[in-house]
């Protein structure tokens, strides 16, 4: 609701700014081009000009506030993203340790979780596809899953748990979430 109210305020302010800007442009063009328009009392004209100037100034102030809020929100999102990356990294490390993966299996598991194909993993590791297949089968067996999608689902389930801090790094608990 707050975001919608803020959006409506910004839109309303933009409309006011457009009218203010149009007033000043029309005023200048009418003077330069000697366009005839009905006489306006100079008091009324001054009030209109002051109102238009205040509208433009208000637009600057509100624009600054909205920009500041957007920058703060981006910073909060960046912090949350770093926390999520750290949590995912910790979860990977805990799981790999609990499953007793070898360093080679850890690399293969990480590449598999990233969505790389067997051929891509083999090319990156300078090994044969058969070796990578054997390593992925060992990973799946140790993790208690039957394939890549279940392996990834296991990590997603754990990340979506309500409290990551209370999660135990035991292999049986990690495997039980499958």
Q: Are residues 112 and 67 in the same domain?
A: no
In this prediction, residue 162 carries a pLDDT of 47
Which of 144, 122, 123, 140 lies closest to 131, judged by CA?
122
pLDDT of residue 88: 84
Structural tokens at position 109 = 């598991």
Same domain, yes or no: 72 and 110: no
Mean pLDDT for the chain overall? 83
Residues 118, 132: contact at Cβ < 8 Å?
Answer: yes
What's the pLDDT at 164? 46
Range of the domain at 171: 99-176
> Contact at 8 Å (CB) between 169 and 98?
yes
Q: Whole-angstrom Cα distance, residue 151 to residue 14?
A: 50
Rounded Cα gap, residues 33 and 29, in angstroms: 6
pLDDT for 2: 74
Instruction: With respect to residue 86, please indicate whether it lies within any of the assigned structural domains.
Output: no
pTM of the predicted protein model: 0.54
Q: Are 62 and 111 found together in one domain?
A: no
Low-confidence ranges of the chain (pLDDT < 70): 37-39, 162-178
In a domain, 87, yes or no: no
Task: Give me the residue label for tokens 């920009």.
Answer: 67
Residues 56, 108: one domain?
no
φ/ψ of residue 163, rounded to 5: -135, 100
Same domain, 108 and 48: no
Residue 88 lies in a domain: no
14 & 65 share domain? yes
Query: Residue 48: what pLDDT?
Result: 82
């Amino acid at each position: 609701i707050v975001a919608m109210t803020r959006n409506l305020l910004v839109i309303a302010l933009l409309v006011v700014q457009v009218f203010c800007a149009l007033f000043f442009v029309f005023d200048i063009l009418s003077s330069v081009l000697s366009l005839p328009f009905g006489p306006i009392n100079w008091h009324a004209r001054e009030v209109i000009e002051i109102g238009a100037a205040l509208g433009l100034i208000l637009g600057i102030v509100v624009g600054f506030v909205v920009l500041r809020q957007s920058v703060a929100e981006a910073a909060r999102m960046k912090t949350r993203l770093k926390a999520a990356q750290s949590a995912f990294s910790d979860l990977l490390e805990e799981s790999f340790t609990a499953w007793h993966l070898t360093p080679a299996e850890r690399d293969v598991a990480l590449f598999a979780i990233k969505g790389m194909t067997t051929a891509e993993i083999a090319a990156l590791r300078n090994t044969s596809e058969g070796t990578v297949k054997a390593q992925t089968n060992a990973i799946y067996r140790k993790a208690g899953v039957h394939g890549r999608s279940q392996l990834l689902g296991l990590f997603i389930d754990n990340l979506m748990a309500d409290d990551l801090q209370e999660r135990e790094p035991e292999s049986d608990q990690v495997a039980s979430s499958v």
